[in-house]
Amino acid sequence: MKRSIVALIATCLSLGMMLTSFNAQAAKKSFADKKVVLQISDPNPFKQTLVLNVANNLIKHYGPDQVDVEIVAFGPGLRLLFAENSNKGRVNSLVSNGVRFSACKNTIKNMAKKLGSDPELNQHAVKVDAGVVRIIDLVKQGYTLVKP
């Protein structure tokens, strides 16, 4: 009996860890039919609107459960993920529909040199080592790269 309980706890713990890992690595475990990675690296503010529009259109067309969307921001495009960005309302809305946002650490480091400190990022932004590497990894996993 004791062994059964221990086994049950262990199983639960393992499942929990697996679920945590699943969330963290959602891209790798996605079961969505469509998988899209959107790149934002342009300084033109209009591109911010455009990339958010594209993400929104994907969600609307396929439904939040049928499409996996991740927006990877690096270079000048990282401004989209600044905490006080004027599009933060739209970013938060997309997050609630399952869209993920990745922020390039290399860009953060470079911007910190110019600003004197790290830029304050949107709370939903997940830092990745390098934006371009993140895109390559996602493409390898079957994601379609779109750069609006």
Partner 1 sequence: MKINLSKVASSAILATMLGGIVAPANAANWLMLQGTEPEGSAPRAKVWGFIQPEYTKTDGTKIKAGPWKGEDMILNQMRPDLKSSEGFNMLRARLGVRGTGMPLDSNVNYFLLAEFGNNGITRGDGGSAKVTDASVTLNHLKDFARFRVGTFKTPGSEEGLQAIHVFDYINFTGATNGLLLERFFKYDGSGTFVSPNAGPNTASDSGQVNKPTGPVGAFRDTGIQVFNSFNLSGWDTSYAYMVGNGNGITRGDNDGEMETYAYLSTEKVFGGKGPRRQGFKLFAWNQEGKRNLTLEKGNAVASDDEEKQFDRKRSGYGFTFKKGNYRAAFEAIKADGMIFNGTDGGAVAGTKSKLPAGAAGKFTTNGDVGGDGQLNASFNMEPIGKADGMYLHVGYAITPKLEVDFRYDEYNRMTDVAAKERKFETNTLGVQYFFNKKSRLIINYEQREAEAPNLPADHNANKILDSVDDRLSAQILVIF
Strand order in the sheet with 144-146: 125-128, 100-104, 67-73, 34-40, 144-146
Instruction: Give the E-state strand segments of the chain in sequence order.
Output: 34-40, 67-73, 100-104, 125-128, 144-146
List the interface residues with partner 1, window 119-138 (CB under 8 A): 119
C-beta closer to partner 1: residue 31 or 46:
46
Site string for partner 1, 4-43 (x = CB under 8 A): ---------------------------------------x
Chosen residue from 32, 62, 85, 141 binding partner 1 by CB under 8 A? 85
Q: Would you count residue 45 as binding partner 1 (CB under 8 A)?
A: yes
Q: Would you count residue 89 as binding partner 1 (CB under 8 A)?
A: yes
Q: What's the farthest any 2 CA atoms get from each other in the chain?
A: 65
Report yes or no: 125 and 84 within 8 Å, Cβ to Cβ: no
Instruction: Tell me the window of 2-10, 29-37, 73-81, 139-147 that interacts with partner 1 (CB under 8 A).
Output: 73-81
Q: Would you count residue 148 as binding partner 1 (CB under 8 A)?
A: no
3-state SS assignment for residue 100 = strand
Among candidates 141, 132, 143, which has minimal Cα distance to 102?
A: 132
Q: Would you count residue 84 as binding partner 1 (CB under 8 A)?
A: yes
Report yes or no: 77 and 52 within 8 Å, Cβ to Cβ: no
Q: Would you count residue 44 as binding partner 1 (CB under 8 A)?
A: yes
C-beta closer to partner 1: residue 59 or 81:
81
The H or E element that residue 114 is part of is helix 105-115
Binding site for partner 1 (CB under 8 A): 43-45, 48-49, 76, 79-80, 82, 84-89, 111, 114-115, 119
